[in-house]
Amino acid sequence: MKTKAPTLRQFQARFSTEESCLDHLFQVRYGNAFDCPGCGREAKFSRVKARRSYQCQWCAYQVYPTAGTPFDRTRTPLRDWFFVMFQFCSSRNGVAAKEVERQLGVTYKTAWRMCHMIREYMGKVDGDDRIGGLGRTVQIDETFVGGYQSVPDKLEAGASNKTLVFGMLEEGGDVVTQVVPDRRSGTLLPIIRQTVTKGAKVSTDEHLAYGGLGTMGYVHNSVNHSLDQYVCSKSGATVNAIEGFWSQLKRSINGTHIHVSGKHLPKYLGEHEYRWNMRREPHLMLDRLLFAFSR
């Protein structure tokens, strides 16, 4: 049974002030007591008034909990940053910069920057760990995102002003995606080798670029969409799960963001990967972001 994600009221009670947000960052990154980088003595650090810093009780050496985080060198209150992160984790279809602009009362430029930095951070926290393995099934597929023309009978995405995205999804597990320049085997197979553990059962459509998977240590089965086949009757191969991920990604882009450029699409992919991979633990989605800051 899934544990529910925190409500807005719970979030506001937890981070009610700017000080509570900064204290959280300090505790996560440094703890209560540690050796001072300035004098080398074990010290308790106290808050410096009017600064986002804490100082050593012995030598007054200062540490800045926001350094090296998306909140570094920004005048935007930490409460606003934490609130937008909460929105990203509580929304299924993402958050538009215009919505952040309206809710926080900041400029669109500030809202746009906040959203993109949070997306980039979500992608880094999620990472691209290997998927699959002996007895595991991985669905592999590619899709065109954006643009305004129909997809031509060519391999190159740029020919239609669309961006080509390649994805690998472990059934019941994580998804890994990335933007690729084309659908050729020389582009896709090395990515699969790097991401999918040998011994996995691999399901694809009938695209010819996947023809060499059987010689790479994978059990390869395909489903023939040209025959209106969505689950192979013999092998059980299907790509329905990853196509469901594509559908959710495109609904978010079309409904929430309206347009996403190919330049920034990898950040949106990282955001949706994080949300998908944490779908079974929605109560930990925000905490994982808030506790992932390294010292």
pLDDT at 294 over 90: no
Residue 73 has a pLDDT of 87
Residue 148 has a pLDDT of 64
Burial classification of residue 269, based on how many CB atoms lie within 10 Å of its CB (0-12 exposed, 13-18 middle, 19 or more buried): buried
**pLDDT, tens digit, for every residue of 162-171?**
899 999 999 9
Residue 61 has a pLDDT of 95
Tell me the mean pLDDT in the region 107-130. 95
Identify the band that residue 156 occupies on the pLDDT scale cut at 50, 70 and 90. low
Identify the band that residue 145 occupies on the pLDDT scale cut at 50, 70 and 90. very high
**pLDDT, tens digit, for every residue of 7-38?**
999 999 999 999 999 999 999 999 877 899 99
pLDDT at 41 over 60: yes
Q: By C-alpha distance, which of 119, 92, 86, 103 is closest to 290?
A: 86
Residue 114 has a pLDDT of 97
pLDDT at 234 over 50: yes
Q: What is the pLDDT of the chain when averaged over all its residues?
A: 91
Identify the band that residue 2 occupies on the pLDDT scale cut at 50, 70 and 90. low
Query: What contacts 54, CB < 8 A, 6 or more positions away?
Result: 26, 30, 45, 46, 47, 48, 62, 63, 65
pLDDT at 155 over 70: no
pLDDT at 53 over 60: yes
**pLDDT, tens digit, for every residue of 247-292?**
999 999 999 998 898 899 999 999 999 999 999 999 999 999 999 9
pLDDT at 140 over 90: yes
Q: By C-alpha distance, which of 170, 214, 164 is closest to 189?
A: 214
DSSP codes, 181-219: S---HHHHHHHHHHHEETT-EEEE-S-GGGGGGGGTT-E
